[in-house]
Chain A
């Protein structure tokens, strides 16, 4: 009996930690949604693009780890700059749906560019953190939890605290919130919309790079990352599109539920229900609470 409880705990904890990986991807979506009410469908492609570039710098040009990371982050800022200048600014007054379509296009461009520049084969990314159980925890708590999962959890926590402080206490954060509330009013009192957008897209790019490193270390740097990133969508629906804590809680819920369902219910259906369970969970959330746990209520006027 005790073993079963322990096993259940292990499944839940593993799921929660895997959920933080989803949260990391979802965070990028939330950043952009918060500042511009734009849903950036290309976030998944940005994850793929950034980490592939990072790997490329390291493996093809033999650039040391830290420098490669900085270069890749710089590249993402450049992507943000181009996106702001070439995609978002011309679509300033377009509707949400039009911008959404444009970001799907942007995702295609990034995926294509990444593959053209760095090739299509799966790359290994070694962060120096093993994807195996930490011996100390395994001995003392009898739980098998991967070191990579713990690192991802810590990184996610750090990023959230950082972003939270940025939004809450800095002048930039105040500007961001003002733009998110009403872009027109914010720009009329002199908040530079362009800079805010650039900042947000760059930040989302760097978040994508971090998320990509975590995923890449686990599953290899490959095209499937883009599909994995799609799982951030149910996370967002559960947590709410405009809430940073929501992204985290949503990720944890999805991660834990998905693992528990897979382990306890999956075998009855031949397994692999992880692929769609999060989406179905999201549908149920949509039916009862469309704005998510922490989102703002959606009000539409005729």
Chain B
């Protein structure tokens, strides 16, 4: 076992320190409006975390899955029950256990991936989405026999201190996301991630090279569901502050799929870019609708237009840049670099869509 931080280059560590400096010091000092924390930063971090989960199974392992929101729901309700029934676990203990519970579902519904792929697998994962939501909805125990349908999430208490202000919740989300992102990056670049990518690029070839398909695929599904579960718990406890199964319907799964694909398949930073785009674009469109047209356009029309634009972007990216916005950013950096220094070495990376291109 190598020490965790040893595989990072100096540039990675500098990048990480800069980002953490931004997140921990710059943002809390310069942003004081609650709106930014409660409506943008917190959901962004939570959804980015879920998108990393989707990335692991789809971008890295190449398995088409469409049940992220189901696993998020499993995580969120597991968290609610753990805090309610096993208060000794503490916040982070409950968070980890609820992630593990989601991971158990991930393993269960990931098993079909051993037999099938592509659209067939997508249908199998849809089963998980519908089943988990139905289960939570129909068995009162999960909701502590609450009849109103919407349960208020408990306050976050860490080591006896309440974390209830937007800033505090943002810091909790940031901490969890940072740790899990680091872990994901490490897994992606280590032997785990190389196995995932080998399975993605050609599973039969990978198997004949000695990569166990069973282990690799199940592991990917479990880790993916763990990330989604933790993200779901944070999403419910820090952003929604309530729990209802409807919040985790199939639309959210599609949203996360879009974040994953538009952001860039098989990249961790793509998850953050994609989540930011899908989250911020409607905000932008709404403010344009309000400020430029002064409310002359109906809100439902604006949301329809937003849907059309997401769809169009999806098609355009599939045609021109199937690797998404992360690749655009990479190209942009490459351009700048090659302008600065005439001799540029082309960055040859294994691409998640290599097997998709004939």
Contact = CB atoms under 8 A, between A and B. Distances in A.
Given A95-B357, A97-B356, A237-B123, A283 B112 contact: yes
Contacts of B202: 302
17 contacts: A93-B358, A95-B358, A98-B356, A99-B318, A100-B64, A101-B261, A102-B318, A104-B254, A105-B315, A112-B304, A115-B303, A116-B301, A119-B300, A230-B250, A233-B122, A234-B123, A276-B127
Given A94-B356, A116-B305, A286-B123, 19 more contacts: A39-B119, A86-B315, A93-B357, A94-B319, A95-B355, A96-B356, A99-B318, A105-B314, A105-B315, A106-B311, A109-B311, A115-B307, A120-B304, A230-B126, A271-B138, A286-B116, A287-B112, A290-B120, A302-B204
A98 B307 contact: no
A260 interface: no
Interface in B251-309: 254, 257, 261, 300-301, 303-309
Given A101-B314, A269-B138, A286-B124, A275 B322 contact: no
A110 B312 CA distance: 10
Contacts of A234: 123
Given A97-B118, A119-B300, A282-B127, A109 B134 contact: no
Interface of B: 64, 112, 115-116, 118-120, 122-124, 126-127, 130-131, 133-134, 137-139, 202, 204-205, 208, 250, 254, 257, 261, 300-301, 303-315, 318-319, 322, 353, 355-358
B131 A279 contact: yes
A157 interface: no
Contact of A108 (B112, B131, B137, B311): B311
Contacts of A275: 130, 133-134
Contacts of B313: 105
Contacts of A91: 318-319
B138 A113 contact: no
B122 to A, nearest CB: 8
Contacts of B64: 97, 100
A190 interface: no
Closest 3 CB pairs of A and B: A105-B314, A108-B311, A112-B307
A95 B254 CA distance: 21
A300 interface: yes
B140 to A, nearest CB: 9
B304 A98 contact: no
A112 B130 contact: no
A87 interface: yes
A94 B315 CA distance: 12
A109 B356 CA distance: 24
A53 B138 CA distance: 36
Interface in A70-107: 86-87, 90-91, 93-102, 104-107
A276 B357 contact: no
A282 B356 contact: no
B158 to A, nearest CB: 36
Contacts of B127: 276, 279-280, 282-283
A105 B204 contact: no
